[in-house]
Amino acid sequence: MEFDWRYALSLLSYKAFWEATWMVVELSVMSWVISILVGFFFALGKQSTIAPVRMFCRAYVWFFRSLPLLVLLIFVYNLPQVIPATGPVLSNPFLAGLIALALSETAYVAEIHRGGLAAVAKGQLEAGKALGIGYLGMHRLIVLPQAFRVALPTLINEYITIVKLTSLVSVISLGEILLVGERLYTQNFKVLETMLAVAFYYVLVVTAFSYLLGYVEKRIDFTRRTAAMIKEQPVADNSVVALAPSKRERSNKPAIQAVGVHKKYGEHHVLKGIDLKVNAGEVISIIGPSGSGKTSFIRTLNGLETIDDGEVLLHEKPFLWAPHGSHGKIPRSQYRSGILDIGMVFQNFNLFPHRTVLENLTLAPAYHSRLSKEERKAQAFKLLAKVGLSAHGNKYPHQLSGGQQQRVAIARALAMEPAIVLFDEPTSALDPELVGEVLKVIEGLAREGMTMIIVTHEIEFAMRISDRVVFMEGGHVVHDLSPAEYASMGRESRVSKFLKGYAMEMTA
């Protein structure tokens, strides 16, 4: 039998095929969207700290990934025989097919989402927590946009798989493309001609949606975005706004205080009863050899690391303590109100890469309903001017140098107008030539009277701007002295040997 090209071409205008194609589009899009939405919650559930939730989500994913879709389709469509109450819904082949597809695909999409969530750096969560953003806000504003961008290529591929899987719904007599073709070739036995038309319609759907979703993928990829510099520049690019002369208001009242703070990682006892009082307006630098507990300590001051024993006082009121201690769990509202008074600048910047510089600065004030939209924007530009970056508000973090990113991070920490700012080795991730611009901003904040605790390896800088320098070693505060007192130490003292060794290491 010769291949009938005229008949094959006539099927391209066959009404039943086009109706079936539209049905495939509806079924595939609806099941894909449902699986994306529901699958995200299952992905979060698999990471939950609540055991029953975690076990249920894992069991769901395991079961529906193991169950063939064909079996699930037949089971769902015939379920009214066992549970008559489901008849009004499941007796409809389209709804039965949609439910079966969504149940099955949710299990696969949940794993895709889990991969996307795993790709979001831990520092993003810590930055959100340091800004006082809650769990739901964290995922809505920070995690989900980044995770979805990572997962989208695989989700697009999964949509294509769903389009092809719709051919299986023919077993429950749903008039999709394949079933229309089967009915035709059983009448005229022109199998190849009919299957060529079937292939055409499937390829048409896949091609159209691949192009459409590929366009969406490009649109949400912030790494491809460009932003022109703002034309009206209040200050030059690399200049820091002149700050007011020293007006620090000293106070004998502690701004923040650590009392007997202990921290363990398994059997490793990192902090061994740290006591530190920082008065309002003081600048305290923390130095010491690697592994001495400097970073762990500063992270306990704002709750990024939990305390195993002891407590942290904020403005002379209890702020943090061991969650399993005699005081019980820290009230969420109490922690939320306290954390807004403590700004945090991270070693690796931890800017939100999917948001512009301006959006990085306005995100937390908007979340906490501070100021109006225009006031938040004006405040953000004022802070950017302070750090010498007012011309870069519309750029994304990846378009800035490391030094510029860290200056943006400092401005972001100041956007909530905290009373205290913590710096965790703010220059250690920078190239040497970029260190100076960041230190200049920090020094300007010190002149303005900001209360700061700085973990740093920039010893000369620490001695120049600090009221007191804390030397830590082995999880203990060994010295808590003024820079002048360190200068008067003998050359054979432990600190002098450390400083000498560090200077030799830097010049090597």
Q: What's the confidence (pLDDT) of residue 165?
A: 93
Q: What's the confidence (pLDDT) of residue 250?
A: 61
pLDDT exceeds cutoff 90 at 428: no
Residues near 374 by beta carbon (within 8 Å), at least 6 away in sequence: none
Q: What's the confidence (pLDDT) of residue 243?
A: 39
Q: What's the confidence (pLDDT) of residue 501?
A: 63
Residues near 53 by beta carbon (within 8 Å), at least 6 away in sequence: 45
Mean of pLDDT over the chain:
89
Residues near 137 by beta carbon (within 8 Å), at least 6 away in sequence: 128, 367
Cα–Cα distance, 281 to 278 (Å, whole number):
8
Q: What's the confidence (pLDDT) of residue 387?
A: 93
Cα–Cα distance, 243 to 248 (Å, whole number):
12
Cα–Cα distance, 136 to 303 (Å, whole number):
18
Q: What's the confidence (pLDDT) of residue 228?
A: 56
Cα–Cα distance, 67 to 452 (Å, whole number):
58
Q: Kindly give the interhelix angle for 177-188 and 191-220, rounded to the nearest 10 degrees.
A: 170
Q: What's the confidence (pLDDT) of residue 433?
A: 81
Cα–Cα distance, 296 to 422 (Å, whole number):
12
- Specify the range with the lowest mean pLDDT, choosing from 143-152, 207-216, 327-336: 327-336
Percent of the chain with pLDDT over 70: 92
What's phi and psi for 335, nearest 5 deg?
-65, -45
The tokens 């405040």 sit on which residue?
379
Q: What's the confidence (pLDDT) of residue 229?
A: 55
Tokens of 84: 């008559």
Residue 52's pLDDT band (cuts 50, 70, 90) = very high
Whether the CA torsion 299, 468, 430, 421 is positive or negative: it is: positive
What are the structural domains, with CATH classification, of the chain?
A: 5-220 (1.10.3720.10), 281-298+332-507 (3.40.50.300)
DSSP three-state, residue 154? helix
Decide: 255 and 279 in contact? Cβ < 8 Å: yes
Residue 238's pLDDT band (cuts 50, 70, 90) = very low
Q: What's the confidence (pLDDT) of residue 188?
A: 86
Interval 130-157 mean pLDDT: 94
Q: What's the confidence (pLDDT) of residue 499?
A: 74
Interval 21-41 mean pLDDT: 96
pLDDT exceeds cutoff 50 at 237: no
Percent of the chain with pLDDT over 90: 72
Interval 48-77 mean pLDDT: 95
Residue 504's pLDDT band (cuts 50, 70, 90) = low
Q: What one-character-per-residue DSSP string does 119-140 give?
A: HS-HHHHHHHHHTT--HHHHII
Sheet with 420-424: strands ordered across: 342-345, 420-424, 451-455, 283-287, 468-473, 476-481
Q: What's the confidence (pLDDT) of residue 227?
A: 61
Residue 503's pLDDT band (cuts 50, 70, 90) = low
Q: What's the confidence (pLDDT) of residue 325?
A: 63
